[in-house]
Amino acid sequence: MTSIVPSARLVGLLQGRGPVLVLTGAGVSQESGIATFRDASGIWEGIDPMQVATPRAFAADPEFVWRFYDARRAQAATVEPNPAHHAVAAIEATGRTFLLATQNVDGLHERAGSRSLVRLHGSLWRLRCTRCGDEHEDLRPKLAPLPPHCAACGGMLRPGVVWFEEPLPMIEFARAERAAREAELVFVVGTSSLVYPAASLQTVGVSSGGYVVEINPVRTPFSDDASEHLSGPAGVVLPALLKAAGIPMDRAA
């Protein structure tokens, strides 16, 4: 049974005008039908990340890596944003200073109407040329033949995601870090808080004096440092919070 009892402090902050940062991970898309990485039956249960999510894996077998990402594109194209994505967009739609920093690459936040967002781990829908560096969006759910090649120079394209052993996009991360320092209210939603440097952002929020709320059905290594932990699925907890604060869910684009 999910128990969602937000504190009066949290409801007050949500009703206020102070800056908000929302950090999300795979758990926010779980209710859309996309598996997380580390839960039982998670993506990394079925496949070793070192075989599909590192530059070395891509160099060794680009077609194998591309099949993994192509299947994830195909799945992401068939699912819909859930109430958690819509609630995040509705907070942004209140017009206050707002940033969403997501580790997710599925594009569901954007489809729910989030506009002020940084993609810390890139996007399934961006393709980048390994030869000329050209990057573009490609929304086709299935790419063929694999691996795809660059229309401009013929080089091999790679998924526009961040792999293990690669740095995060510098400008995006700096923007998220600044928002973590300045936010009055930070939500940490659906992430195991195990993957760095993304997981350092919630710690920056705490050390900068922000009120940091974790939303997750289970406790994580970050839970003890959070100002508040709300236990339950994001698609239930976030809409309940918005209701408690009187924020309409249908204001997002």
- When the beta carbons of 29 and 150 are compared against ligand OAD, the nearer one is 29
Sequence length of the chain is 253
Residue 84 host element (H or E): helix 83-92
Stretch that binds ligand OAD, among 21-29, 128-136, 143-151, 173-181 (CB under 6 A): 21-29
Is 121 part of the annotated catalytic residue set?
Answer: yes
Out of 164, 165, 178, 248, point to the residue binding ligand OAD (CB under 6 A): 164
| 212 and 188 Cβ atoms separated by less than 8 Å | yes
Out of 23, 85, 90, 103, point to the residue binding ligand OAD (CB under 6 A): 103
3-state SS assignment for residue 157: strand
CA gap 98, 92 in Å, rounded: 6
CA gap 106, 124 in Å, rounded: 6
Please report, for residues 4, 80, 105, the alpha-carbon distance to residue 198 in angstroms, rounded to integers and kept in the order given: 26, 25, 14
- Binding pattern to ligand OAD, positions 50-89, x when CB under 6 A? ---x------------------------------------
Find the catalytic residue in 85, 86, 109, 121. 121
Using CB under 6 A as the binding rule, whether residue 39 contacts ligand OAD is answered as: yes
| 134 and 210 Cβ atoms separated by less than 8 Å | no
CA gap 235, 233 in Å, rounded: 5
The residues in 224-253 that bind ligand OAD, with binding defined as CB under 6 A, are 233-234
Contacting residues toward ligand OAD, per CB under 6 A: 25-27, 30-31, 36-39, 42, 49, 53, 103, 121, 162-164, 190-192, 194-195, 215-218, 220, 233-234
Catalytically annotated residues: 121
